[in-house]
Amino acid sequence: MDDKPADEEPKCVEIPACGSKTLFEVLNSSCQRFAGKNAVGKRNVIKVHSETINGKTFEKFELENSFNFLTYTQFNKRYSDFASGMMALGNLAPKQRVVIYAETALDWMTSAAACFSQSLEIVTIYATLGEEGALYGINQTKAAIVIADPKLLKVLAKIAPQCPTMQHCITMGDVDEQSAALILKTGKTVTSFEDVVTKGAEKPVDPRPPAADDIAVVMYTSGTTGPPKGVLLSHANIVAGVAGFNQTGVQYNLNDRTTYLAYLPLAHIMEMIAELANLAVGAELGYGSPHTLTATGVKLKVPESDGDAMTLKPTFMVFAPAVFDKVYKSVKAKVAASGGLKEKIFNAAMAQGLRNYENGGVGINAVANAVAFGAVQKLLGGRITCAMTGSAPLAADIQRFMQVVLKAPVRQGYGLTENCACSTIGAVDDNMVKSVGAPHSCAIIRLADWPEGLYMNSDKQRPDVGMPRGEVLVGGPCVCQGYFVDPVSPDPDVVKKNEEEFLTIEGIRYFRTGDVGQITPTGTLMIIDRKKDLWKGPQGEYVALSKVESGVKLSPYVDIPMVYGKTGGEYPVCLICVVEGEVRRWAAKNGCPTSGPEMIKDQKVIDEVFRSIKDACKKIGLADFETPKKIALLGEATWTPENDMLTAAMKLKRPQIARAHAAELDAIC
C-alpha cells in the first residue's frame, strides 16, 4: 500500500463556512440568514387523468405550470411544527429511529429536518426496494414511526403485521383509506402529514439539538447482492460532505442565487448531499419527478402541463448517467429522423462544439447555439450553468455531446454512501473525459496495491502506464461510522465487512471502495476497473465489465447492456435491452419483423445490432479480447428497479440478471 497520498496530505475541511457542526445547525443557520428567500417549492396537481394505451391504463398528472415556494422562515416553521407533532404522537426519546419510505418530495426533506431538530435518527429506504426491503429495514432498525407516501402506504399495509416495533404511520398526501384500514387493524395509528403539522403548531416543543458525533442517518444501500446494508452516517460525516461540496461549488457559482431541481431519490446519498449543500448556501429547491421532468415524461399530461425543468428553469442539476444516456440517444434519433437541412445544421454545430471542447471551451457561439441546440436547452429551462453526474461511469462521447448541447460544463464526480458521496469532482475548467476529478476538500484519496489484478502504485514507473494504480481508498471526516449491526441478532457478514472494509492510517479513517483507479499527472482520479466486476479470460487477461458496457451503450440500439464472462469461458458475451424504436426503424427499412419478440430474434436484426456494438467498442479503443463475441437481445425496459434487476441508482444486479437469463447466457457462452 502507498503510505502517502500522491501530494502533500492536506487538512480536510470538516464544517461549512457558516460554522455549523450538525445538520440541525446547518438548516437553522440558513433559515435565519436567508429568512425571506425562497427555500423549497413544489407544483400542485390540478387533476389526475387516466389514459389507456394498448389495453393498459396509465396515470397522467396535470400540474400547475408554476412552483409554489416556502420561504426559509416558512420552511423552518413547517419542519418545527412537524417535529412537535411527531413528539406529541410518539413521545420519542433521542436517538430513536424514524423511517422515511417515500419518493423524493418537499415533505421528505421536511421530515428529515424535523428529525435532525429532535436528535432522532432517520432511516432511508429506497422506494423501489418493495415489501422485502422495507420489512428488513424497519425491523432491523426497530423504527417506531414510518413516514410513507400514498403509493408506498399500500406496501406498508401488507407488511404492517410483521413490524412489531412500528407504532405510528404518517402519510404524505392523501390517505388511502383501504391501506389505512389494514394498518389500523394491526393496532398501529395512521395520521396524515398535515394533521401532524397542525397538532405540532398547537403544542410546539423546543428543539433537542444533536451532538456532532450522533448518528443522523441510517442509509440503506440498494445493494447489488444480498440484503441491503445500513450505512451509519453521523452529523459530522454529512456536515463534512456538505462543506466539501460547497467549497467545490464555489467554482460553479453555487450560492444563494442558485435554483436547483430536486428529482433524484433522496434515499440516495448523492441527492441528499446535493440538497443539503444547496440549502446551506441559501439556494432555492424545486421538487420534481423523473416521470415529469420534461415534456416527454411518462406521467405528464401534455400539452396541458410543461415539464418540471421547463417550469422551474433551474441553474444547477445533478443527473444520473442513465438520464444522460437516454437524452443522448433521443436527441441523436430525432436529428437523424429530421434529415435534410436540420440534420446538417445540427451536425455542423456539434462538430464546432466538439472542436471547442478539445480546446477547453464550452458550447458554441450564441446564434449557432440557439439554432442548433436551443430546443434541447429549453426542455431543461434554458438556464443550466453546470451539470454534475455520478453513481456510474459516463461515456466520454456522451460527456462531450451533453456539454456541447447544454452549453454548460458537464462534470463527473465520484463517491459512495460510505463517504457521503464526496470523494472527487471534476473542476469547472477541466474538460478531461474519463476523469472524476480531484479530491473534495473533505476527502483524502490513496491507492492500495492489488497484485492479483496487476494494479500497483509502482506502475507510475512503467513506461506503458506512467501513473500509480490500485484500489481506491477514501479517507477523511466524511467516512461513515460503519454498517448497522443488530445487537440482538448480529449478521456475521456485516460484522466482517465492518472489520475488513474500514481501516485507519496515521489516525485517518479510510474506506476500501473496491474500485480500481489511477492518479493522472494533473492530480485527478480515473476509475478504471472494479475488483468485483472483473472477469478473467483464458489467457489470464482481465476484462473490466463496466468499462466494456460504457462502450456498448454508445450504440443507438442499446438501452441497457450487461457484459458477462462465464467462469472458464473463452470470451465475454453481452445481454442487451434494446431501444425498440431504433431497432424497429432499422427492421422496417430492411424487411425484417417489427413486432417485439420476433424482431429481437431475427438474425439480420441481431447482426445489425452486433455490428453497431463492435463499432462502438472499437471507437473507445477496446482490445479484441475485451469486445463481446456474442450477444442476446432482450426487450426494452426488461430490467428495472421494480423487478429487482437494477438498484434504485440504476446499477446492474449482475447475479439476479444472470439467474433470470440463464437460458440466453447458456446459448451464447
Helix (H) or strand (E) segment spanning residue 383: none
Residue indicated by cell numbers 421530515: 111
pLDDT at 224: 52
Identify the segments of the chain with pLDDT beneath 70: 1-10, 54, 222-226, 539-540
* Whole-structure pTM value: 0.85
CATH class of 539-668: alpha beta
C-alpha span between 131 and 157 (Å, rounded) = 10
Strands 121-124 and 97-101: parallel
- For residue 540, the model assigns a pLDDT of 64
- Is residue 247 helix, strand or coil? helix
Q: What is the pLDDT of residue 7?
A: 46
pLDDT tens profile 371-399 = 999 999 999 999 999 999 987 778 889 99
Q: Rounded to whole angstroms, how far apart are CA atoms 152 and 169?
A: 11
Please state the φ and ψ torsions of residue 425, each to the nearest 5 degrees: -155, 145
Residues 6+ apart with CB under 8 A from 633: 576, 578, 583, 600, 601, 605, 606, 609
Domain ranges, ordered by start, for the chain: 23-245+261-277, 539-668
Q: Cα-flanking dihedrals φ and ψ of residue 397, to 5°?
A: -60, -35
Residues with Cβ within 8 Å of residue 69, at least 6 apart in sequence = 38, 39, 40, 41, 284, 286
DSSP one-letter string for 400-463:
HHHHHHHTS-EEEEE--GGGTT-SEE--TT---SSB--EEPTT-EEEEE-BGGGTB-GGGGG-T
The answer to whether the CB of 398 falls within 8 A of the CB of 325 is yes
Calculate the alpha carbon distances from 396 to 293, 411, 433, 616, 618 in Å. 24, 11, 5, 12, 14
| Alpha carbon distance 565, 539 (integer Å) | 13
Q: Which CATH class is domain 23-245+261-277?
A: alpha beta
Phi first, then psi, for residue 481 (nearest 5°) are: -90, 5
Contacts of 293 (CB under 8 A, 6+ apart): 261, 263, 307, 308, 309
Axis-axis angle for helices 130-141, 150-159 (nearest 10): 70
- Cβ neighbors of 304 (< 8 A, separation 6 or more) are 46, 62
